[in-house]
A and B are shown apart, each in its own frame.
Chain A
Amino acid sequence: MHFRFTEQAIDTQSARTELQSFSAGGYVSFEGWVRDFNEGREVTRLEYEAFQELAVKEGHGIVTEALRRFPIKHALCIHRIGSLELGDMAVWVGVSAAHRAEAFDACRFIIDEVKLRAPIWKKEHYRSGDSGWVNCERCAQAAEHPHTQHRHGRHTAPNSK
């Protein structure tokens, strides 16, 4: 599988060895980190939850699609689940290729699609003491108060990192 979950810190040193190839001239990676703010609120920690069976299938499909669309050698995506602190790595994408341009393009494609399509959810805990599921709570509030302006999370651009 080109996509997996882990409950432990992502071991990037070990993961990058899975991408090595003598015909690769380089490797590009993306790390998503837990940030201390989102949409104007102070965030203190995050919880990630996933429908793992479908998310692995979907994530594997995304990386497979990248391998087909771009002339790259290897690609892999690893996503954390569970409770994460500020600065922790939430997701890692690595791509090796003969040339750098394709590696950058494929890496971008993979992280964008994973954020958009994989059934993974993130609950933010705020300094104020409350918490909320990203992309879910504001929609729900807006449904109760139809005149409140809101952006619907599902099809908007990736919201963080």
Chain B
Amino acid sequence: MQLKIQYYALMREQAGRSEETLETSAGTPADLYDELLARYGFTLSRDQLRVAVNSEFSEWSRKLKVGDAVVFIPPVAGG
């Protein structure tokens, strides 16, 4: 299944890219994060992040569909 991933801030730097289209067998954002953690060696663990799917905050257990856009959200620091 093909998914679009966008990276921001610390995760963008650690992934070395701001977005990518990925062929994956991950069925949920949680599975997808485990896969990408192994690939890029992110220093943040999943319990430190939130996740958005198609620009809405999402549960980690949500079932992903072809073409979904996933963004992992590190601890925020606006203002």
Contacts and interface: CB of A to CB of B under 8 A. Distances in A.
B9 interface: yes
Interface residues of B, number: 21
Interface residues of A, number: 40
Given A54-B52, A91-B78, A91-B79, A140 B73 contact: no
Contact of B44 (A50, A122, A136, A160): A136
A6 to B, nearest CB: 14
A117 B76 contact: yes
A51 B71 contact: yes
Classify the secondary structure of A's interface with B: mixed
Contacts of B77: 115, 120-122, 133-136, 153, 159
6 contacts: A32-B79, A115-B78, A116-B76, A119-B76, A120-B77, A133-B10
Interface of B: 6, 8-10, 12, 43-45, 48, 52, 55-57, 71, 73-79
Given A121-B77, A139-B44, 14 more contacts: A51-B8, A90-B79, A114-B78, A116-B76, A119-B73, A120-B77, A121-B8, A122-B78, A134-B77, A136-B75, A139-B75, A140-B44, A152-B75, A154-B75
